[in-house]
Structure 1
Amino acid sequence: MPGFGRSGRRRTAMISTATAALLVATACSGPAADGGGSIKVGASLPLSGPVADASKPAYEGYKVWLDEVNKDGGLLGRQVELKVLDDGFDQNTVVTNYNRLISQERVDLLLGTFSSKLNLPASAVAERNKMLYVEPSGGASEIFTRGYDYLFFAQPSTSVDLPEQFLAWLTALPADQRPRTAAYPTQDDPNTDVVVEEFRKELTKLGVKSVYSEKYAPETVNFDSIAGAVARAEPDLVIHGAVGTGDGAGFVKGLQKQRFSPEILFQTNSPSVTGSYPRAIGAKNTEGIFTTAAWSPKAGYPGNAEFVEKYTAAYGAAPSDDAANAYTAGQVLEAAVKAVGSLDQDKLADWLHSHTVQTIVGPLEWDERGVPNGDMLLAQWQGGEFQIIAPESQKTVDSVVNPKPEWS
C-alpha cells in the first residue's frame, strides 16, 4: 500500500473558550530513551452527559491498553502517562480539551474521543497541529472527506458500510418474509445520520416503504411522543439511529409503553453496550434486537482472548464494543511508535498509511483518508447473549431470531 505525503493539504483550525477538568488515569515515570520522563498521551471523552454510559467502557479500554503497555516496558523505553479530559459530549468543550492537551499539557501523542459528533471537530484540532489522531469511534463519512493526513479510524469499516451485513441477511430472506414498511427515528448526529440514510436508500431499492422518518435532539430524554408516532405508523421494521444506552433504551421503553413491538428492530450502537443495555430495557426484552459491531469477544485474532480476560479481571464484567475499540486505537498508536522508533508525527502517519497493524478487531490497513478496509459484524441478542450472526467467518451462532418476540 503506497505512502501518502502531506504537501498542499488543507488545515482546519477551531477554537473555543469552554473548560473541562483534567483526569490522570496513570502517571508512571521510567528510564528515558528518547527525551526523558514519561510519554504523555492525551484524549478527551464524554465522561459526563448523555452518552457517559457508553464512554466509560472506552475509557476503561484505554486504561487496559495503558497498563499492558507499561507492564511491557512502555514506549521507547519510557513509561506512558494517559491524560483524559471530560468534554460532556459538547463540541466546543472537546475543541478546548484537545487545544489544552496540545498547548498546555504538552502531550506527545493523541487518542480520539467518542462519536462522530465529537471526533469531527477534535480531529481538526489534531490536524491543524500536525499530530497523529487515532480515533476509536466516529465513522461518519464527512470526517474523512477533508483531506486530512494524520487521521486514522481504529475500526474495521466506517458508517457508510455499517448496514451491509444486515441488508445482505434481509435480501436473502424469501420475498414474502421481508418487511414491507420501515420507520427511521434517529438522533441528530453525523454518524447516525449517515447510517440511517444509507439504510433508507438501500431498503427503498428493495421496495420497503418509509412510513416514519424523524430526527430528535441529542438531549432528548422522553421518547413517548416519538415511540407513539412510530407505533401509529405500524412499521414491520424499525431502524433506530441511537448513539448510547440513554436514547437506545429510552426509545425501547417508549415502544413498550405503546405496546408496540416491530417484527424486526435494528439499533445502532446502544445494543453493543453489553453491560448497561440489558439492564436498562430488561434482559428478556433484548431478544432478537439487531445491531452492528466492530468486534467480537470470541474472535480468534491475536491478543483478543487476553484483552477480554484482562478487562474482565479489572472491571468485573466482559468488555463492550466501545472498550474494545478504544483498546484497538491504543494498539494502533503503539504499533506505529514502536515501528518508527520515535515520536515524529509525520513519520508515524506515513508508517500507518503504508503498513498493516494486527489488532483485536483483525488486521487494519488504511487508505489516504485514514479509512480502513474491512467488514463490520452483524450482531443480535439471543438468549441473553450478544451473538455474532455474520459474516460467516465470525459467527458465534447459526440461527437468527426472526421475528422479534413481543416485549416481556
Structure 2
Amino acid sequence: MSAFRAPSRRPRAALVRTSRRRPRFAFAAAAVLVAGSTALAGCAPASSSGSGGSNAGPITIGMSLPLTGPAADVAKAGYQGYELWASQVNASGGLLGRQVKLDVLDDGMDPNQTTTDYTRLISQDHVGLLLGTFSSLLNAPASAVAARNQMLYVEPSGGATSLFQRGFTDLFFAQPGTTASLPNQFLAWFSSLPADQRPKTAAYLTQDDPSASPAISVFVSKLQALGVTTVYNQTYDPSTSNFDSIAAAVVHAQPQMIIQGSVTDDGAQFARSLEKLNYSPKILFQTNSPTDATYPSAIGTTDTDGVFTAEAWSAAAKYPGNAAFVTAYSNKFGTAPTEDAANSYTAGQVLEAAVKAVGKLDQKALAAWLHTHSVDTIVGPLTWDSTGDPQGSLMLAQWQNGTLQVIDPQTAATTKTVVFPKPAWKS
C-alpha cells in the first residue's frame, strides 16, 4: 500500500491545458499529444465499447494523479510505473492492435478535484479505459465516478476496507492484500513463536488515516486474542511532527512490543523520539514508513535493524517478470523503482490481461473476467472477490543489516533469518 511523502519538484511533462487552475498533462508512450477544450460535460454512463476515439486510433487510458502537492513524489514514481508499462505495451504491438495513450490530469491531492477530473476524463475526453490514482482518500471518489459510469477501475493503491464495502462490481485493487489483511503475515510469524518468547504487552499508535487506523484496529483485536495486553493506544493527527511527548507516554507504559500505523515520515519521527529515550522494544512494527527509501538515513541505517513492516512489492521477490521490471525501470529512469512505481505497473498488467482476454473494450465483460480469473503480475498471482478485494496478503518484511528483506510468504522470501528481539538503538 502506498504512503504519502514529502513534496518534490514537478514531474517532467508538457503543459497542455488546465483543470480548475491545476495543470493538465497528456502523456503518450512515444509522444505528447495536445488535447482540446476545458468545458466539463455531464456525467453519463460509458458505452460498452469504450473506444476512446476511432477504432483505428490509440486507446486512451485516463487517470488523475496528485502530480503537485503533498503526494507529488508518490505520483511521480507512480506515473513512471504507468509510463513504463505503456511503453512496453506499445513496443509489443499495443492493445487490440492499437497503441495506448495515457491521458493524465493533476488533482493536487484534492478529493473534490479528483471527482471533477475523472468525470471529465469519461464525459468530455471519452477515454476508453481508466487506471487509478494514489491513496484511499483519492481512490474513494474516483472509483465512485467510475462506478456511476459503469467503467472498470483498477487502482494501484487505496486499500482501506471501506472502499470495498460499497457494492461496486467494477473496482479492483492491484496489490496482494488490503488493510484488513495487512497484519496477516506478521500475526502468523508471531503465532509461531514459543509462548514464553512472545511479548506479553503492546503499545499501539496510529495516524488518523483511512488505511493506517483500520489496520491497527486489526492488530489490536487479533493480538489481544493471542493473549497480548494493550498498555497504550492512541490516534494522532496527520499534522503531528514532534513525537517526543507521545514516545514518552509509550515508554512510561513499558510495552514489550510497539505497533505503529505510520503513513509517511511519521514513522521515522517516532523512531527518533524512541532513540532519544533509549527505549527499544522487543518488536517494532510500522506500516508504510519503513518501505520509504529515506527511512534508513532518517533514523540511521544501523538503527533500522529488526524493524518490521508490510509491503506489497519487493525488488528482490522472485515472481515472474519482476527482475525484468526492475531492470527496465532502472534503465529508463536512471533510478531503482519504488513500491509506488511497482504498484502502478501492476495495475497496468491487470488491465492489460483483462483487455487481451476479453478481446474488446467492453467494461462489464472486463470486470466479469477479472472476477473469475487469476492474473500473473510482478507481485505474484492476483485474484479478487466480488467486491474487488484481492484474496491474498501483503508480505512481511524486516530491515536486516541495511537491507529490507522479505520474510514471508516463502514464495517471495529473500531470507530465512528473523531478527528477534530487536537490537538496542545504536545512535
- Name the TM-score, length of structure 2 as normaliser: 0.84
Match of 1:254 among 263, 273, 277: 273
CA distance, structure 2, for counterparts of residue 201 and residue 345 of structure 1: 39
Residue of structure 2 equivalent to 1:22? 24
CA distance, structure 2, for counterparts of residue 334 and residue 34 of structure 1: 19
Q: Pick closer, same or farther for the CA change 1:278–1:85 going to 2, 3 Å.
A: farther
CA distance, structure 2, for counterparts of residue 201 and residue 249 of structure 1: 25
CA distance, structure 2, for counterparts of residue 47 and residue 238 of structure 1: 34
Residue of structure 2 equivalent to 1:154? 174
Q: Does 1:201 align with 2:203?
A: no
Match of 1:330 among 348, 351, 359: 348
Q: Pick closer, same or farther for the CA change 1:19–1:215 going to 2, 3 Å.
A: farther
Q: Does 1:192 align with 2:212?
A: yes
Residue of structure 2 equivalent to 1:84? 104
Cα root mean square deviation, aligned:
2.3
Cα drift, residue 285 of structure 1: 2.3
Q: Which amino acid aligns with 2:97?
A: G
Residue of structure 2 equivalent to 1:93? 113
Match of 1:306 among 324, 340, 361: 324
Cα drift, residue 307 of structure 1: 0.4
Cα drift, residue 301 of structure 1: 2.4
Residue pairs, 1:84-123, within 5 angstroms: 84-123=104-143
Q: Does 1:360 align with 2:362?
A: no
CA distance, structure 1, for counterparts of residue 199 and residue 70 of structure 2: 32
Cα drift, residue 339 of structure 1: 1.8
Kept in 2, the 8 Å contact 1:19–1:96? The answer is: no
- For 2:255, what is the secondary structure of its paired residue? coil
Residue of structure 2 equivalent to 1:61? 81
- Name the TM-score, length of structure 1 as normaliser: 0.88
Match of 2:253 among 233, 247, 262: 233
Q: Pick closer, same or farther for the CA change 1:152–1:192 going to 2, 3 Å.
A: same
Kept in 1, the 8 Å contact 2:29–2:87? The answer is: no
Kept in 1, the 8 Å contact 2:53–2:59? The answer is: no
Residue of structure 2 equivalent to 1:75? 95
Q: Does 1:142 align with 2:162?
A: yes
CA distance, structure 2, for counterparts of residue 34 and residue 339 of structure 1: 21
Residue of structure 2 equivalent to 1:388? 406
- For 1:190, what is the secondary structure of its paired residue? coil
Q: Pick closer, same or farther for the CA change 1:110–1:40 going to 2, 3 Å.
A: same
CA distance, structure 1, for counterparts of residue 216 and residue 70 of structure 2: 20
Amino-acid identity (%): 58
Cα drift, residue 332 of structure 1: 0.5
TM-superposition CA deviations, 1:63-110 (whole Å, max 9, x none): 221221121122222222223333343322322222232233332211
Kept in 1, the 8 Å contact 2:29–2:86? The answer is: no
Cα drift, residue 258 of structure 1: 3.4
Residue pairs, 1:365-376, within 5 angstroms: 365-376=383-394
Q: Does 1:213 align with 2:233?
A: yes
Is 160-169 or 341-350 further displaced after alignment?
341-350
Match of 1:268 among 287, 305, 308: 287
- For 2:211, what is the secondary structure of its paired residue? helix
Cα drift, residue 204 of structure 1: 0.8
TM-superposition CA deviations, 1:19-65 (whole Å, max 9, x none): 632223335479x9962332221222333444444443222221221
TM-superposition CA deviations, 1:121-148 (whole Å, max 9, x none): 2211111111110011122221111111
Identify unmatched segments of 5+ residues in structure 1. Answer: 1-16
Q: Pick closer, same or farther for the CA change 1:22–1:260 going to 2, 3 Å.
A: farther
Q: Does 1:403 align with 2:388?
A: no
